[in-house]
Chains A and B, each alone.
Chain A
Amino acid sequence: MQLTLWTYEGPPHVGAMRVAAAMRGLHYVLHAPQGDTYADLLFTMIERRDTRPPVTYTTFQARDLGGDTAELFKSAAREAYERFSPQAMIVGASCTAELLQDDPGGLAKALDLPCPVIPLELPAYQKKENWGASEAFYRLVRGLAGARRDRPLRDRKSCNILGPTALGFRCRDDVREIAKLLATLGVDVNVVAPLGASPKDLTRLGDADFNVLLYPEIGLAAAQWLERAHGQPFTRSIPIGVGATRDFIAEVARMAEIDPAPALETNDSRLPWYSRSVDSTYLTGKRVFIFGDATHAIAAARIAQDELGFQVVGLGTYAREFARDVREAAARYGVEALVTDDYLDVEAKVSELQPELVLGTQMERHIAKRLGLPCAVISAPVHVQDFPARYSPHMGFEGANVIFDSWVHPLMMGLEEHLLTMFRDDAEFHDGAAPSHLGEEQEPRRPTSAAVVSDIVLAWADDAEKELKKIPFFVRGKARRNTEKFAAERGLATITVETLYDAKAHFAR
């Protein structure tokens, strides 16, 4: 039993949902109790999807347990097929249904539906979200990609892009950036999967010459299988950062047997120049702590050390499956890797190290806020603001631009805040100081009492003042202003609780 407040990853069936929701023409039938549909809102709210994820839940309740939950699953699967006519289905159980020992795979097979049905075994009490996504994608690829066959004859080499999913950190824009890069190299993209692919597309995976593996956490198992079954090599370098993007271009060029020079020359990243400009000198040796999924954490460490001139003082991951890679990377920076999924351990490490910048997930953002440290987000799990409307990849050369801005910004803000605090009591910086461009004759602005309205000084009765304090601070000011205006217009000398609510009713709109 593990005492948990925050969890970096959801259960494995949420990983499978990320694969299903990324694809088109696929439907997931999930044997799960009432309430597990909460996961839908991760997609509709955090990622702001405009459709429901393609998942049908059996949502069994206690009264169903005495009866036939297997029958419930079968009717849900049959109905889902009839309603959505998917090209393929995946079926499985969530943590509670795993305990019931109905066999979704066997039950679905017995239905003999007219589309491929791929059963998923996701051990909910051992594994987590990324493993679930990886396993679901691997099973789908294995089930649908078919046997090795001759590749179509083509002038240009082609590749698949493997690993981007729904709810993946910056996946949408990374894929666009990398596809652009591949086009510059003269390499065609055969299939991007799972994001945007249909089961029919997965049957074409074998047509590509090699695979570009963008997110090993999700796509490694499938890439390894395609290497064995279809003889497709896959890229090892992750194109996050300028150096890593160059390595990636060289690796792709080698696989495609083409010249990397033209693509390397189009390097339009501003990071190298920005980082060399004198304004960036103050970044030198800034102590940075890095935590996230293995792929993003390792990439961030290289950028921090080699491209921005920081000093990596801590590196860690919550992904135990990739702990070895992170340990190796940490050794290069002379630090010991922190491998944990307990955010209290991370918090303890951050407070111990007292870095000047924290790069991490949503959790590290909160840890840093609590400790008063600058922070930028580099990895899932992330909240809604990290699914931005604007183009913001982390991969490729534009990704390097985005990273420069997003990491340096909190440091600038930190510096500004520091300066303001330092100079708070200076003549030019105190609260009442007028902006200097208004000239010296300008009277310094003095704090005005909100209670002085048209020369009548209004008194707040004690209980009204107390009531006002119960109103959330961010609207309290407005409530105070409105009430005083209301009282002044009516010539009331004292504001009572009644006045407060009379004013609220008056101004309600």
Chain B
Amino acid sequence: MNALAPLSGLAKGACDAAPVMQERGQREVFCGLTGIVWLHRKIQDAFFLVVGSRTCAHLIQSAAGVMIFAEPRFATAILEDRDLAGVADIDDELDAVVDRLLARRPEIKLLFLVGSCPSEVIKIDLSRAAARQSRQHAPRVRILSYSGSGIETTFTQGEDACLAALVPTLPPEPENASHSLLVVGALADIVEDQFARLFDVLGVAPVRFLPMRHAADLPPVGPSTSFLLAQPFLADTAHALQERGARWIEAPFPLGAEGVTLWLRAAAKAFGVSEARFDAVTSPARARAEEALAHYRDALAGKRVFLFPDSQLEPALARFLAREMAMRIVEIGTPYLHRRHMAAELDLLPKDAPIVEGQHVEKQLDRCRAARPDLVVCGLGLANPLEAEGFATKWSIELLFSPIQGYDQAGDLAELFARPLNRRARLEV
């Protein structure tokens, strides 16, 4: 379980040169349930009901912090001994919980039953429960299910599982529908609006987003749909969309001025926008992004960065830090590497940047300590202990909760990495 073996059979392209290693052992990562914390804010009339243990409830509470009190739209149905012992009929119990919940929250239009490790291990059939309850509560509420369990999903993969569960319910595009664009992956509303404006000026239309802001606004999908991934962790969602006939537009992810340009250009090309028009539309925003980035380049250029696995954003972040901020990459950890979706990113990464898929946290910490990087990107369980050992750290969850995609957030993204270094330089104690 500990071997660091070079991976065979890599995708074509730069990965041939880039050493991708696989590692197994203790993984210091969140489970997919955590995705609920941002997904429930995006889909404003959806509720997420975890079927799990007290641990699951405790995890979401810890991850959500004080947010849990602002009319939370998530909860846990905690399994008890009597559920496990078969004393209580799980179907009846679950139906009763859902009935009570929906009676209390009449504004809910979409309910997700979210599977956890305990519910997966004892094989509670949540998809059957969702179908049964959907019949009972139609047409007011639609009920779907997906798994956010730690045994099946790592952190952001919870969003993938959620969106993949939504895809079969999307309405079909009409027969004669014109070419449409679907942007996939939860983005902050402000980022979504910026992209919508840019596509509008480029003449790419219609453009729709998944997840949608309201349960009723399901984007249609079909063979005339092309989709662009805004996030790198959407393997199952992409597959489900392709099953519905939609076509994937290959692109790097919209982080940093370069990433956004390449991402937008891939869409523009698919929609026949001329290169001249593309340049005319994007160049002011690009120049603006470059200007914002320039503010942080001195602080970051030449600094060595080590990224622990967390969200699958790591290769794209490393590409941005290396190419646009001139940082040097020590190691790129990622919980999972989707070789097709990540191919465009890997092509852009420095050839010598080691990529490690999976984790053995102790050995990775050993490598990190030995390399003495200037900045470590890691989770909150590791950040303070590493700071105490003298490392500057950037805690990675913030990269999921902050708007970082798009031209006008490029400077903010750079600032997230520059701030810990700036702070260390300031403190005299």
- Given A11-B58, A72-B1, the answer on whether A36 and B150 have CB atoms closer than 8 Å is yes
Q: Judge whether B385 and A44 touch: CB under 8 Å.
A: yes
For the complex, give the distance between the alpha carbons of A272 and B45 in Å: 54
* The one of A3, A9, A44, A467 that contacts B381, using a Cβ cutoff of 8 Å: A44
A6 beta carbon closer than 8 Å to chain B: yes
Would B121 and A99 count as touching, CB distance under 8 A?
A: yes
Q: Given A4-B76, A10-B58, A11-B55, check contact A76 B118 (CB 8 Å).
A: no
Contact of B31 among A1, A7, A33, A125 (CB under 8 A): A33
For A57, give the chain B residue with the smallest CB separation. B26
Interface centre among A38, A83, A100 (most CB of B within 10 A): A38
> Taking the nearest CB of chain A, how far is it from the CB of B293, in angstroms?
8
Q: Which chain A residues in 39-90 approach chain B with CB under 8 Å?
A: 39-42, 44-45, 48-52, 56-62, 64-65, 72, 75-76, 79, 83
B362 located at the interface, meaning its Cβ lies under 8 Å from any Cβ of chain A in the complex: yes
B125 within 8 A of A: no
Q: Does B62 contact A (CB under 8 A)?
A: yes
Residue in A closest to B155 when the chains form the complex, CB atoms: A35
Question: What residues of B have a CB within 8 angstroms of the CB of A35 in the complex?
Answer: 29-33, 59, 117, 149-150, 154
Complex alpha-carbon distance, A13 and B58, angstroms: 12
> For the complex, what is the distance from the CA of A366 to the CA of B284, rounded to whole Å?
46
A10 close to B54 (CB less than 8 A): yes
- Complex alpha-carbon distance, A38 and B387, angstroms: 19
Q: Among B4-12, B79-87, B248-256, which stretch is in contact with chain A?
A: B79-87
Contact at A1–B88, with CB atoms within 8 Å?
yes
- With both beta carbons as reference points, the residue of chain B lying nearest to A363 in the complex is identified as B69
Point out the residues of chain A lying under 8 angstroms from B100, CB to CB: 3
Question: In the complex, A467→B192 CA distance in Å?
Answer: 12
Write out the residue numbers on chain A whose beta carbons fall within 8 Å of the beta carbon of B166: none
Question: In whole angstroms, how far apart are the Cα atoms of A59 and B155 in the complex?
Answer: 14
Number of A-B contacts (CB under 8 A): 207
Write out, one digit per residue, whether chain B residues 15-50 have a CB within 8 A of any chain A CB (1) or not (0).
Answer: 000000000001111111110000000000000000
Residue from B55, B122, B411 within 8 A of A505 (CB atoms): B411
A34 pairs with B80, CB closer than 8 A = no
Judge if A94 is at the interface, Cβ distance under 8 Å.
Answer: yes
Give chain B nearest CB distance to A102 CB in angstroms. 12
Which residues does chain A contribute within 8 Å of B387, judged by CB atoms? 50
B292 close to A (CB within 8 Å): yes
Contact B53 A125 (CB under 8 A): yes
Question: Which of A35, A62, A508 neighbours the largest number of chain B CB atoms within 10 Å of its CB?
Answer: A35
Residues of chain A with a CB closer than 8 A to B190's CB:
467, 470-471
Q: Is the CB of A504 within 8 A of B292?
A: yes
For B384-418 the 0/1 string (1 means CB < 8 A from A) is 11011000000000000000000110011001000
User: Would you mind naming 25 contact pairs between A and B with Cβ atoms under 8 Å apart?
Assistant: A3-B76, A4-B77, A6-B61, A7-B61, A10-B54, A33-B31, A35-B30, A35-B117, A35-B150, A40-B380, A44-B382, A51-B388, A60-B151, A61-B151, A62-B152, A64-B151, A96-B118, A96-B121, A99-B122, A124-B53, A366-B66, A467-B190, A498-B284, A504-B292, A508-B412
Q: A1-B79, A99-B122, A502-B288 are in contact. List 12 more A-B contacts (CB 8 A).
A: A3-B78, A11-B53, A11-B54, A34-B27, A44-B380, A62-B151, A99-B121, A125-B79, A470-B190, A501-B285, A504-B408, A505-B411
6 closest cross-chain pairs (CB), A and B: A35-B31, A35-B150, A40-B381, A50-B388, A508-B411, A96-B117
